[in-house]
Chains A and B, each alone.
Chain A
Amino acid sequence: MADPEIKSYEPYHESQSAAVTESRPVRIVAMAVAFAFLAIFLLLPLIVVFNEAFAKGASAYSEALANPDTRSAIRLTLLVAAISVPLNAVFGISAAWAIAKFEFRGKAFLTTLIDLPFSVSPVISGLVYVLLFGAQGLLGEWLKAHGIQILFAVPGIVLATVFVTFPFVARELIPLMQEQGNGDEEAALSLGASGWQTFRYVTLPNVKWGLLYGVLLCNARAMGEFGAVSVVSGHIRGLTNTMPLHVEILYNEYNAVGAFAVASLLAGLALVTLVLKTLLEMRYGAEIAATRGH
């Protein structure tokens, strides 16, 4: 595939006839509209987060973050991401192997099913687990009789997070592995490598940047998920509150500095994610399937 960078560095507006680019005033207006739109909708909200977080100074900020409930929310968010991201990464690799390396019936249907969570409202993603595990749920009685707590506890939060972040790794790896074909693997196998060796030393190095890319996006969503987690968490302070839920509670208590201090950590995570994502695209554009579209 052609490197998109080479193409995009061609200056379109210079040395071109008037019919192949817009006139100067049109260009200026289009750029002004685009900048204004991006500034109002993307830049300002980001600035507001940090501005509000530090509205009462750095000491109020660090005090807000030292709060034990905030600390426990941070720990829970890290724990949930640490469980759900690897699960979805393993699924993503496994699904991509099956779908990209083999031709079988119903492949297109399976690919559609994997994308399904993206077209379901986060609230519904949480609701389905309430219907399954809740007191009035299908398994509610059985779970209660056996003393197993899923809803309003960590397992429920993990399940809801796994549901909403389900497609991220798979949808990065499937097109990438399809594009790379089976040639390398067939060569390795013909030289006597075992199936596992072929995956470990041939396929994995080929897709590692795409995998990292998918994991990055999956992690950002896992740590930031609100709707689905909100439905299953029960909002027990210090126990089942993730960072986004803690932001809501503090905000509703009119604790603006506290809410925005936690929000600033999540915004920082988003910025780090964007920087890493951009670096990956710049350095390994061809290796993470540039044909991807969200």
Chain B
Amino acid sequence: MNTAPAKAGWRFRQPSVIPGFGLTLGFSLAYLTLIILIPLSGLVWRSAALGWTDFWAIAADRRTLNALKISFGAAFIAAAVNVVFGTIVAWVLVRYRFPGRRIADAMVDLPFALPTAVAGIALTTLYAPNGWIGHLLMPLGIKVAYTPLGIVIALVFIGLPFVVRTVQPIMEEIDKEVEEAAASLGANRFQIITRVLFPGLAPAIVTGFSLAFARGVGEYGSVIFIAGNLPFKSEIAPLLIVIRLEEYNYAAATAIAAIMLALSFLMLLVINLVQSWSRKRYG
């Protein structure tokens, strides 16, 4: 069989005996273009057609800025909470043996499987002033439902599996001999965790954080029930898009969506850079 690399230079694909390349790639590209690329580029085209001054007027609007601040801020805090607790949950699931571990492990995926609207009304009922958790927090003067804190709670729920499922497989791969070697060299448990284990986990933790953050920024269903949705205070950016659409203000909805997309991609880019840096540093 002719598998020797041809010296022809540029080549779109390497030769293969397997059939169906044209058919499957063609179909996949056509489907991708119709469903994803054309609609998304429509969004870009519409926001470009707005013109700079109109675009800037919408972007600099105080309500838009506040909504973006709330979405990104709450998503950041929730992702940070999930990094702490998600890592502990992953550690307990990987390293400790206890009855019901399988069930606890399966439960972690609940936020992936539970429709966001269901999560939204359930969390709101729990944290409302007369809810199971809300009435315990009331005497302490903590209000969760219908406040920005409620947004964070909903986003913690949504983001948890992203952190656990990213960190868990890396923890499972840790070679115990490394820990034994560190121990034999005189390191105590705390030193082993912070100096030996953590650096290996850091890239996964950063990835988990970024996935939870990205998901939280765009989240809508679980948040709108618990947030109270007061403009300037607890109104998230996706909700503002919906409000502008209901006002038939397509321009504003498009501009906010374009800003959100641009910020998300910028963020993913930064996180990718941080990741490759931490991989180089610790990997």
Contact = CB atoms under 8 A, between A and B. Distances in A.
Q: Which 9 A-B pairs have the closest CB atoms?
A: A121-B218, A224-B115, A19-B183, A226-B221, A104-B13, A227-B220, A195-B19, A128-B39, A45-B122
Interface in B6-37: 11-14, 16-21, 23-25, 27-29, 31-32, 35-37
Interface of A: 4, 7-8, 11-13, 17-23, 26-27, 30-31, 33-35, 37-38, 40-46, 48-49, 52, 91, 94-95, 97-98, 101-105, 110, 113-114, 116-117, 119-124, 127-132, 134, 136, 138, 159, 162-163, 166, 182, 185-186, 189-190, 195, 198-199, 217, 220, 223-227, 230-231, 243-245, 247-248, 251, 256, 259-260, 263, 266-267, 269-271, 273-275, 277-278, 290-291, 293-294
Given A103-B13, A244-B221, A124 B261 contact: yes
Interface of B: 11-14, 16-21, 23-25, 27-29, 31-32, 35-40, 42-43, 46, 85, 88-89, 91-98, 102, 104-119, 121-123, 125-126, 131-133, 156-157, 160-162, 165-166, 169, 172, 176, 179-180, 182-183, 187-189, 192, 211, 214, 217-221, 225, 237-239, 241-242, 245, 248, 250, 253-254, 257, 260-261, 264-265, 268
B153 to A, nearest CB: 8
A127 B20 contact: no
Given A4-B172, A120-B261, A129-B39, A227 B116 contact: yes
Given A38-B108, A94-B27, A259 B121 contact: yes
A131 B91 contact: no
A24 to B, nearest CB: 11
A247 to B, nearest CB: 5
Contacts of A199: 20
B65 to A, nearest CB: 17
Contacts of A189: 17-19
